Structure formats: C-alpha cells, structure tokens
Amino acid sequence: MSKFELKLPRMGESVAEATLTSWLKEVGDTIEMDEPIFEIATDKVDSEVPSEVDGVLIEKCFNVDDVVEVGQTVAIIQVGGDVEIAEPEQKDKEVETEEPVLQEMVSAAESAVMHARAQTSVAQLNGTSDRFYSPLVKNIARQEGISFDELETITGTGKDGRVTKDDILNYVKKGESKPVERISTPERAAVQERVAVSQKVAAPEKVSTPVEEKVTAPPAPEKVAPATASTQAPTSEKPKTQVSRGDEVIPMSRMGKLIAKHMTDSVSTSAHVQSFIEVDVTNIVTWRNKIKDAFFKREGEKFTYTPIFMEAVAKALKKYPMMNISVDGDSVIKKKNIN
C-alpha cells in the first residue's frame, strides 16, 4: 500500500496558481485513472484535473475557493488496498494461494491484449474536424475503443455543441459504443493451460475466502479560507449602487468578476476614451424640416433632434437590456426603467 500525492499541474508558462472551484470526489471515494477529481479556474481557462492513478481518495489538502500554487499537493490517493485474508484450513491453503496467481496471470494477459487494441484506436481519433474535443474526452474514447467517426455522431450538450465528459460516459453506459473486445476464448484457454502446467495445479475448487477491505480515510484537514475583501475591515466603504423596485440583481460569473475587476481597475490607470461612428441621418433631417414649423405652431416649442435620438436609445436599451446595467461589487444590476 502506498500513497500518491496529486499535485496541481502546470497549465502554461504564465500560470503560477489557480483557484479550486469544486471537488468532484469525496474522501473515501474509489477513483480510476484519468477520472476528474476536482475543478480549477485561472484567469484564462476553467479545467478539470484528472487522477494519475487508480486508488481511493483519503485526503483533501485544500477547500473550495482556495488558491493553489502550481506544484502544490491538492489531494492524496491511496494506491492499492489494505486487504486481510482470513486463514482457511491447512488442506485448502495451497489451493487458495495458487488460485489468485492463476487469475492474476490471466488478467495480465487480457490487459495486454486490450491495451494493444485500444492503442490501435488512437490513430483513429486524429481525424480532422471543426468540432472541439477535450483531451479528457479523447482519452475516454481511446479507452472505450470509440473511433473518430463514432465520436462525431455523439450529441454534445456543452457550449457550441461540444461533447462533455458526461455525454461520452452516458453514451458508453447506454451500450451504444462498441466496447473493446475481451481476449478470445482460445487465447484465454491457452493462457490458463500454460499457467496450470507451470504451477502443476489441477483446476482448483471454488473456495469462498472472506475478504475484508480496510480503507482508513482520515478526515480532511480544516483549512482557513483566505480573507477576502468582504471580510476585511474596509478603510473607506464605497457607496452601494441604488436598487429600485423591479430591478433584477444578477450574481456575476467568475469570468464576469474578472472582467469587471479589470475594467474598474482601468479607471484609475487608463484614460477614458469615446468611440464615434458616422451615421447617415439624411432622412431624419428631411423629416424634421418638413414638420418643425407645424410643430412650433401647435406646441410653441422648437422640434430638435434630441427627442429623436432619445427614442432611438430607449428602443435600443429595451431590445438589449444588458446595456442598461450597473456593477455593484460582484453583482450586476439590470435596470427595469430606462432613464
């Protein structure tokens, strides 16, 4: 039995740390190689971090929202089980010890054949396509023997129709994929025969062996979340944005928070600019000149361009309500009224 320390991998030359956004596994869960354990987020990308070994998760070294540096241990996985086998009667001891050896050698032969066949499908996944597949999805496809053409037929539920981990696992679970064939019966029989001859053991009788797996899962260490701006005593509290009745307060996404932070930071570091676009308003000028005299006689006021432009802005804000917003901390306030 050994312990494997899963460290935060390097995700680029400019990335030195990441925020742990969620745990996908709990302490005591059995984990397979390449199975995602937790999710992280950086300024550039969100990603799942898979396990590099098979085993049992025994310790979480960080909590959600903790900042982890590249190379730090995030999780500890127990590799191999601490299994105790009860001793049977002396006459059955020889059969007991040789049966696992036989099964282990047969399983090893099967694994070798399955691995060789799975490797042949790697080249099939190198086809060209406009569709994006993450490395995790490609790895699952290789293990399950799913060809590139078959992968193209899977309906994706991710962004822009991308195939997610859940999509391909559900596809495999439904039995729609063609699983990698197990070692053929003649090959298996030949392996069993060679092992039996080498061990000089007749076909062993079925022996019930009580096995008790003991997996000690120590509790996850309590880590104190880093102090945030909201928990620290502010030196000068900023006035909150006024929220009127009917306004909708929308929590920001992680990417939205980053964009808002950089934009508000730029107020004190960058000069404000305006963008101008020329628009042909010949029809508006002609229409105004046609009605302005009659309007003045009726209302006693001059008809200017201001109400025309105000109506255009109001209609645009009604059609695109996310242009009529204000930022309040980590939230966006979408205004109901157009003022």
Q: For residue range 111-139, what is the model confidence (pLDDT) as tens digits?
A: 554 554 444 444 445 555 667 777 788 88
Helix (H/G/I), strand (E/B), else coil: 77: strand
Average pLDDT, the chain: 74
pLDDT in tens, 304-329: 999 999 999 999 999 999 888 877 77
When mean pLDDT is compared across 105-109, 110-114, 150-154, 219-223, the lowest value belongs to: 219-223
Q: Which of 49-58, 153-162, 270-279 has the lowest mean pLDDT?
A: 270-279
Q: Which residues contact 147 (CB under 8 A, 6 or more apart)?
A: 121, 124, 125
> Which residues neighbour 289 within 8 Å (Cβ) at sequence distance 6 or greater?
none
Q: In which band, very low, low, confident or very high, does the pLDDT at 214 lie, cut at 50, 70 and 90?
A: very low
**Separation of alpha carbons 283 and 235, rounded Å:** 55
Query: 114 pairs with which residues across the strands?
Result: none
pLDDT at 270 over 70: no
Confidence at residue 130, expressed as pLDDT on a 0 to 100 scale: 64
Tell me the HSE value of 326 on the side-chain side, using a 13 A CA sphere: 12
Q: Is 83 helix (H, G, I), strand (E, B) or coil?
A: strand
CATH number of 2-82: 2.40.50.100
Q: Does domain 248-334 have CATH number 3.30.559.10?
A: yes
Q: Say whether pLDDT at 95 is over 90.
A: no
pTM metric for this prediction: 0.32
Query: Quick one: pLDDT at residue 228?
Result: 45
Cα distance between residue 312 and residue 99, in whole Å: 83
DSSP code, position 304: -
Residue scoring higher pLDDT (216 or 66): 66
Q: Which spans in the chain are helix H? A: 90-120, 135-143, 148-152, 165-173, 185-199, 254-269, 282-299, 306-319
Q: What is the domain partition of the chain in residue ranges?
A: 2-82, 90-208, 248-334
How long, in residues, is the chain?
339
Query: Which has the minimum average pLDDT: 81-85, 281-285, 286-290, 317-321?
Result: 81-85
| Mean local confidence (pLDDT), 187-216 | 50
The reported pLDDT for the residue numbered 259 is: 83
CB 309 within 8 A of CB 217: no
